[in-house]
Structures are given as structure tokens and as C-alpha cells.
């Protein structure tokens, strides 16, 4: 296929996807996978792949801001990555220093008030990387219109373990009562600054696993996950929009599931309980966003009309 025709097809497809996307997740987390494989395929060295991936990262930030994402977390360097060859890591650390400082000084970061934060075991990184992290965080500390989290020397299990140890120590020292431990207690100990629950994880590169990434905020929130085959340097806006569409489809499915459960509860109660049950369902409806109220109304109407795709006469969700 000729290159110009391929570009035209991609542009048309991107336009179709843009029209299909009607909302945006609040927090998107990306596993930037495939930089080294991309470089090998092109006959280049690993640092060339990392540099190409950094260009994709800048584009993704623009796309997030275009559709209304408020927080982006990038899995940039895991604790397992320390096992890679020293010379490869040293070049990656140089690139991180360059990009962190460059980004912290960029006009668009200050125009859009982007707050740059690092999460992970930052103290394990070389001093020059720690200094670049401090510089980027200090330059954008007052910004919160958009949050960019850079996961460096990061491991999800290790963060949970450290939080558990901190809670245990606080209880042993008498600073915290066991009955006071709640979700917020753990979250305050995970990161220096609050991190929103993750709505969507995107992983390019062909691997279908989330690699211990933000387990508390992603698994706990039942985040949608989008896997795709392009390596990170090849990741396109169409791929990004496909990920957003996956999130939207999952949200719609979850809204209908919640609505079906509410109707099933209503139908399972006896006639004597119906007025109270109706009151419960009405309160449930009032607490829902507009889109979810519509799903509940649709199911109630289907119940009254005997729609086989809705709720059966006993109030149970039809198969």
C-alpha cells in the first residue's frame, strides 16, 4: 500500500474514532513498552528507541489535554529495570535528566499548569536523576490543572509493602488505632501527594499484562485495560482513541450492570415491601450521574413492556 494512501486511511480512521469518543477518563496510566524492540527492529541501539519513545510521550500528553484527561501516569522505569546492562541504563538516565528539565521549562507546561510528580523509590536512582526530578517538581509544584506522574524505580508491590509497614509502625508506637485504619490511611502512605484512582491502563507492545502497575489505584477501581500491538514509539492517536473507546464501552457496561442489579433487587421483594423498595431505587437513581439514570430508566421500561432483553417478570436480569 502506498504511504500516502496509508496516511489518508489512518487520518479517516482517526476522525471516525474522534467522533465516537464522547467522554474521557479522569486518570490514564500508560506502560511505555516496546522501545528496545522497536530499536532492534530498525537496527538501532536501545537508547535510540528510548528517545523515539520520548517523542510519543509528548504527543500523548497533548492528546490527553485535548480530550479532557486530568491525570496521566507513565510507567517509565521499574525496579526490575535496574537489572538491565549498566551502559544502557546510564544512557536512559541521561535522557530522563534531559527530558525532565526540558519539560519543566517548556512554555506549554506553564501555560496549562501541568504539575510534574515522580512516584517510586526515587532515592535508588543516580543523584543526577534525583536532581532533575527535584527541579521538575519544584518548577511545577503549584500547578494542578493537569497532573503528570512519572513512575521511576517503581514497583507496585513494594509501595504497598512500605505502606503496610508504615501503618504497622504507627500502631506499635501508639500514633494510630487499629479501628482508625481505612482506605485513606493507606493512600496517604503510598505517595507524597494524592494520586487519583486509575480509570484506564494502556499498554502497547503486544504484552497483555499490567506488570504490577498502580495495583491499589487500578485494581481497586476496576480500571479498564487496553492492550495493543504497536511498540511505544509507533503508538498513534488512533491507538490512543481506541483505548479511550475501550474505557467508554466498559463504563457503559458497568452502568447497565448496576441498573440491572437495582431492578433485580426491586423485583425480588414481595408486594408488601414494594413501596419501600421503590423508595430505595429512587434514591439510588438520584445518586447516579445522568447517563446511569438513563440506563436504569431503560431497564424499568423494559420490565414493564416485557422486553426479553431487559428484566423478566421476577425482576431478574434476562440472559
Which active-site residues does the annotation give?
33, 81
∠ at Cα 161 (155, 166), nearest 5°?
Answer: 125
Q: Which of 70, 152, 143, 71 is nearest to 119 (CA)?
A: 152
Q: Which of 98, 82, 95, 3 is nearest to 45 (CA)?
A: 95
Torsion 77-82-84-87 (CA) sign: positive
Cell of 18: 474522534
Cell of 9: 486511511
* Residue 317: DSSP 8-state: B
CA distance 159 to 307: 49
CA distance 285 to 293: 6
CA distance 290 to 90: 51
CB proximity list for 105: less than 8 A, separation 6 or greater = 139
Q: Which of 71, 16, 34, 58 is nearest to 245 (CA)?
A: 16
CA distance 64 to 303: 40
Contact call for residues 155 and 79 (beta carbons, < 8 A) = yes
Q: Which of 240, 208, 226, 205 is nearest to 38 (CA)?
A: 205
* Residue 22: DSSP 8-state: -
Amino acid at each position: 500500500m502506498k504511504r500516502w494512501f496509508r496516511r489518508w486511511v489512518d487520518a479517516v480512521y482517526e476522525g471516525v474514532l474522534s467522533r465516537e469518543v464522547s467522554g474521557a477518563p479522569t486518570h490514564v496510566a500508560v506502560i511505555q513498552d516496546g522501545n528496545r524492540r522497536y530499536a532492534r527492529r530498525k537496527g538501532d541501539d536501545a537508547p535510540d528507541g528510548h528517545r523515539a519513545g520520548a517523542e510519543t510521550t509528548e504527543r500523548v500528553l497533548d492528546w490527553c489535554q485535548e480530550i479532557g484527561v486530568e491525570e496521566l501516569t507513565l510507567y517509565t522505569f521499574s525496579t526490575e529495570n535496574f537489572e538491565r546492562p549498566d551502559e544502557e541504563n546510564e544512557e536512559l538516565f541521561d535522557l530522563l535528566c534531559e527530558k525532565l528539565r526540558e519539560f519543566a521549562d517548556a512554555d506549554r507546561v506553564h501555560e496549562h499548569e501541568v504539575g510534574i510528580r515522580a512516584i517510586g523509590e526515587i532515592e535508588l536512582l543516580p543523584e543526577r536523576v534525583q536532581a532533575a526530578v527535584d527541579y521538575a517538581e519544584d518548577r511545577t509544584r503549584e500547578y494542578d490543572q493537569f497532573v503528570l506522574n512519572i513512575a521511576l524505580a517503581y514497583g507496585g508491590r513494594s509501595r504497598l509493602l512500605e505502606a503496610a509497614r508504615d501503618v504497622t509502625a504507627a500502631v506499635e508506637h501508639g500514633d494510630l488505632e487499629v479501628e482508625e485504619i481505612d482506605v485513606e490511611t493507606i493512600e496517604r502512605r503510598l505517595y507524597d501527594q494524592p494520586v487519583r484512582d486509575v480509570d484506564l491502563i494502556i499498554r502497547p507492545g503486544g504484552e497483555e499484562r499490567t506488570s504490577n502497575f498502580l495495583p491499589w489505584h487500578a485494581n481497586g477501581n476496576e480500571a479498564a485495560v487496553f492492550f495493543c500491538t504497536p511498540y511505544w514509539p509507533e503508538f498513534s492517536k488512533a491507538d490512543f482513541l481506541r483505548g479511550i473507546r475501550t474505557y467508554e464501552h466498559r463504563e457503559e457496561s458497568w452502568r447497565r450492570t448496576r441498573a440491572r442489579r437495582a431492578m433485580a433487587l426491586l423485583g425480588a421483594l414481595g408486594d408488601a415491601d414494594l413501596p419501600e423498595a421503590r423508595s430505595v431505587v429512587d434514591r439510588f437513581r438520584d445518586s447516579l450521574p445522568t447517563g446511569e439514570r438513563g440506563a436504569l430508566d431503560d431497564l424499568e421500561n423494559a420490565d414493564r413492556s416485557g422486553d426479553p432483553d431487559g428484566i423478566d417478570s421476577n425482576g431478574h436480569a434476562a440472559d
